[in-house]
Structure 1
């Protein structure tokens, strides 16, 4: 049976929508096919694998930037992956990813990320789990015991505060690895729509520098239904604080609902410093969404990064994916990493330099695992002489993700 992999056209949308419904479920009122105007305005890239019987597999690519190592990195976010049940296991997915990721490189995207439903499928394609986006349930009664902040007050945000909210997210995200920058569609939201999506957005204001104060944190929340604490639930999409007192002020504001709401379902990731001000960590993970990463361009991802290891020189290689295979030498000069491609065959380098699998490269880049742990997992082989330097090459930043796609 012949197979054609190509970008999805608007004429393919009925089959594309049907296949998505089979994979992810269909609402009771059906899943409508988008209008041409909606589809063209969405800003994503869709790919399909077509055989003699029609659309066999599909995926969607979001082009955006995410924060890694203090810079906004062009990223291909993969979503909506679906294969028709009768064609699963046929190899269609591999060819679909090959085409979509090649186009991503042409767009200058040097990494790719996704939220998997089955991580094993994507591990075979070079992706690895580097973090998790979680919804965590917090009893509001516990928040009433958060210590009172000093020099910080809260107030309700308005559309006029949008730039201040964006600035807080920017400062927080730039200090992490992983967050979507929210500078591109579909993650950039017009101010009016951003505020319309929530019951309220609460600001934490530093009043120590004057009456006007500086916005140093925000929480966006949806109140939800009901007023019986045993059953009422509110949702908190973001609770981002730039100081401990900002975190205390925001948590106490959420906790003030405790007479009518029993639980706050908070979107978070990793060990968020905003949670360190809580008197205890009594909470329940409602849902966890692992986040996977793949490197698309070794030089593009690892070159030009700030590193504290001035003068370091690390030869390494990547093996196990034909689009990444090769030998490299990384040096640090003027505080920045530089990569040079070495004219060595991958099979000739194991005795003289460390060799990373594509998965190991992703884990090392994200700061999710040390070189020692990569060896334990089988994602780093070859000479061990540079393991310590590989681990210390990039300043450690926590992995945090707050946007699901």
Structure 2
């Protein structure tokens, strides 16, 4: 079942497959290029028994994303979207064929990790993906926000085409210390204002310096129980977040509630007044990630200042055949002078600092950062670790838990 790159001539067929699987409008009947920054791949129905010409039997898109990675670092990431199999060809192994090609292509393209939002986590887990985070939203009564004090020295500025670059700069600055946040670079995130009714306000001080922003879409409140979908609320300081939350209270003349999308351990939760907020009734989206190249994923991180030592790391990846990617293997991992190195070694004996042995699922959880070996064990993931080596690995990978917001 040959997997090939899709071209503009395949766009209509792929969109027909995708809209049939996930819903959405029928595709434009005219061929057009795929989104720049994505690698579209697929399998022709005509190559399969009983297949038809002009039909894509299975397809997916690999996004060339970059994400934050630990303390001030970045890494390339293969974001997976639109993976679908035609109903006529399900149950024949095409899903696995596509996953194998995705992992191999991410490896070849220098993307040490991959991420996706699964509709069915179990089918991706079979291939080494691991749930690393969940995405939450809460419904906030505007009556609560009216309790917030006014913050002196701050004012609001409408976001326009001209001021949108300032929003992008604030996003990059204020999420740089997070794990797994998209950098939102072009061409996947083109310049200009987002569409579909998106609005935003900048928070500035008396000198015009930017301190944060809040963005939203107006939605029909009768259908959801809230009238504003707040996409992001980011501020430099606690007072800036109070000022931005307080600005939302002005909607109380026409609305009773807003829905606020949150990062993992979002600092905005620490400034919410009152106790009236509640989770939305919607399903909680999950984020899954997978290590593609263990050494590159480690070496992309920065070691905490003053941390030094070494240990043997063994990652066992039985979910895919050997050679598909470079997740499995054995390395001597060393930290010194703020850097991490991972040198291949034979899986035998012990290093000076001992050995840590991880399944691919444990590695995919831990290498993102913000979790410990104890967390992996609590989840029932396979971990064996000598005490000293385990402590060093936990110290290397300390930091905020992963958090992803997919768009402005």
Match of 2:287 among 280, 286, 291: 291
Distance 2:404 2:6 in 1: 29
State the alpha-carbon separation in 2 of the partners of residues 77 and 255 from structure 1.
36
How many angstroms apart in 1 are the aligned matches of 2:142 and 2:103? Answer: 44
Secondary structure of the 2:402 match is: coil
376 and 283 in structure 1: CA distance in 2 versus 1, 3 angstrom threshold: closer
Whether 1:392 aligns to 2:395 is: yes
Is the 2:67–2:183 Cα contact (8 Å) retained in structure 1?
yes
Unaligned runs of 5+ in 1: none
Structure 1 residue 215 corresponds to structure 2 residue 216: no
Which position in structure 2 is the counterpart of 1:83? 85
Distance 1:150 1:275, change over 3 A: farther
Structure 2 residues without counterparts, runs of 5 or longer: none
1:260-289 Cα deviation digits (max 9, x unpaired): 012212222322102210113512224321
**Number of residue pairs matched by the alignment:** 388
Residue number in structure 2 paired with 1:137: 139
Specify the alignment match of 2:14 in structure 1: 16
Query: Residue 64 of structure 2 aligns with which residue?
Result: 63
Q: Which moved more, 1:368-377 or 1:90-99?
A: 368-377
1:200 alignment partner in structure 2: 199
Q: 1:176 to 1:16 in 2, by over 3 A?
A: same
**Per-residue displacement from partner, 1:296-340 (whole Å, max 9, x unpaired)?**
111111014211252211211000243322111110111111111
Query: Deviation per CA, 1:192-216, whole angstroms, max 9, x where unpaired?
Result: x33x55453111123xxxx323111
**Structure 1 residue 403: Cα displacement:** 0.7
| Alpha-carbon contact 1:58-1:82 (below 8 Å) kept | yes
> How does the TM-score come out when normalised to structure 1?
0.88
Contact 1:198 1:220 in 2 (8 A): no
Q: Distance between the aligned counterparts of 1:325 and 1:366, measured in 2?
A: 16
Q: What aligned pairs does 1:2-401 form with structure 2 within 5 A after superposition?
A: 3-27=1-25, 31-33=26-28, 35-37=30-32, 39-50=33-44, 51-52=48-49, 53-54=51-52, 55-69=56-70, 70-186=72-188, 188-191=189-192, 193-194=193-194, 197-198=196-197, 200-206=199-205, 211-224=206-219, 233-281=227-275, 282-287=277-282, 288-308=284-304, 310-321=307-318, 322=322, 323=325, 324-344=327-347, 353-385=355-387, 386-401=389-404
2-structure distance, mates of 1:34, 1:109 = 33
Q: 1:184 to 1:34 in 2, by over 3 A?
A: farther
Larger mean CA deviation between 134-143 and 109-118 belongs to 134-143
